[in-house]
Amino acid sequence: MPELPEVETVVRDLRPLLVGRTIEAMWAGPAKLRRAWKRAWGGQVVGSTVAGVNRRGKWIIVSLVSRDPTGSEKTPALPVGSRLTATLLVHLGMTGQFTVAPTADPLATHTHFTFDLDDGNQLRYRDARRFGSVEWFPPGTDVEAHLGEKLGPEPFGLPAQPFRDAVRASKRTLKAILLDQSVVAGVGNIYADESLHRARLHPETRGADLTETECDRLRKAIEAVLTRAIESRGSTIRDYVGGSGMRGGFQNEFAVYGRGGEGCPKCGAEIAVRRVAGRSSHFCPACQRR
C-alpha cells in the first residue's frame, strides 16, 4: 500500500511532466472508486492547465488553473495554493498507480481515468482494488482545511514538544498511534514497523509509557526512515510504481517489515510477527523490548 515515500515519489516524478501542461480531454470509466467522480467535473477539468503537483500526507494535490470563461486568452500561471486554482485530489488507496505515458501506449486493465495532455502524453489513473479516489474541487476550496480535519503534521522537521505531548497523551499502542494519521501524517504499516525498529521501541508499548527521550528517538527515527525511503523511490511490494512507471527500491532495505523468522540486521535475533492495532507487525524481540 503506498505510504508517504511512495506518494512523494509519484509527486516528484509527475511534477516536471505535468506543470504547464493543458488537459485537452479526459475520460472517466464506469467503475466506482472509494469516492465517486461526478460527470460535471469533466467539463471543468478539460481546458485547464496544471499549475502544481504537491503532496499532503498520502494525498496528491494537482492544482489546476481553470479555463478562461471567455475562451479568448489562456489564463496566466498562478502560484500553487492560490484561491483561483481548482484541485484534483488523488489518493492511491492500496493499489493505485498515477502515471504519465504516451497517449498511443495501450491502456492497462483497471485504468479508471485518462487525461490527455497537450504534449502527446496522457496522465492515467489505474487501481485494481479500487480503494483509491480521484476528486475535483472548485477554485476557492481550502483543500488543506478539508484534509486538516483528520491529518496531522508532516513528519519532516517536526518540533519536539508537540510530538512528545501527542504521543504521551495516548493510551494506545505506538503502532496504533503511528497508523492514525492525526499524530503524524503519511505513515502506514511498513514505515511504522521500520521506524519503531530504528527507535528500538516495541509496537505494543503504550504512548503514555514513553519518556520524552524515547519520544524524541521515535520522532527522529520516523524522519530518518522516510527520508531514506524517498531517496530509494519508495517500496514496491506489489503494484506500486512511481509517476514515470518505475518501481521503488526501499523493499531491499527493510530491517523488519516482511522479514518474520529472519535475522535482525542489528543483533541477529529472529524477527517476530504479531497482530497489533489490527495489522501484522514485524519487530525484533531483542532490540525492541516492552
Q: Give the nearer residue to Zn ion in terms of CB position, either 187 or 255.
A: 255
Told to check if 200 binds Zn ion by CB under 5 A, we report no
For residues 42 and 265, which CB has a smaller minimum distance to Zn ion in the complex?
A: 265
- Of 12, 130, 228, 279, which is the active-site residue? 279
Task: Assess whether 150 carries a catalytic annotation.
Answer: no
13-72: contacts with Zn ion (CB under 5 A): none
Active-site residue flag, 58: yes
Q: Which of 55, 56, 58, 164 is catalytic?
A: 58
Taking CB atoms, the residue at the shortest distance from Zn ion is 264
Does 177 interact with Zn ion (rule: CB under 5 A)? no
The number of residues that bind Zn ion (CB under 5 A) is 7
**CA proximity to 146, closest of 43, 20, 35, 277:** 35
Scan residues 213-272 and list those touching Zn ion (CB under 5 A).
264, 266-267, 269
The continuous run of DSSP H or E covering 160 comes out as helix 160-168
Cα(53)–Cα(49) distance, rounded to whole angstroms? 12
Contact window for Zn ion (CB under 5 A) among 18-26, 98-106, 224-232, 278-286 = 278-286
Q: How far is residue 166 from each of residues 175, 206, 230, measured CA to CA in Å? A: 14, 12, 25
Question: Which position among 101, 107, 273, 286 is part of the footprint of Zn ion (CB under 5 A)?
Answer: 286
Identify which of 273, 56, 275 has the alpha carbon closest to the alpha carbon of residue 151. Answer: 56
* Longest CA span, the chain: 69
- Smallest distance from Zn ion to CB 249, Å: 23
Smallest distance, Zn ion to C-beta of residue 287, A? 3
Q: Between vectors from CA 27 to CA 21 and to CA 28, what angle results, nearest 5°?
A: 120
Catalytic residue flag (residue 279): yes
Per the annotation, the verdict on 2 as an active-site residue is yes
Written as nine digits, the cell of 229 is 525511503
User: Rounded to the nearest 5 degrees, what angle is found at the Cα of 95, between the Cα atoms of 66 and 106?
Assistant: 70
Q: In the complex, what is the shortest distance from the CB of residue 161 to Zn ion, in angstroms, rounded to a whole number?
A: 30
Q: Name residue 61's beta-bridge partners.
A: 54, 89
Angstrom distance (rounded) from CA 47 to CA 137: 15
Q: How far apart are the first and last CA of the chain?
A: 28
Shortest Cβ distance from residue 17 to Zn ion (Å)?
42
Binding residues (CB under 5 A) for Zn ion: these are 264, 266-267, 269, 284, 286-287
* Catalytically active residues, by annotation: 2-3, 58, 279
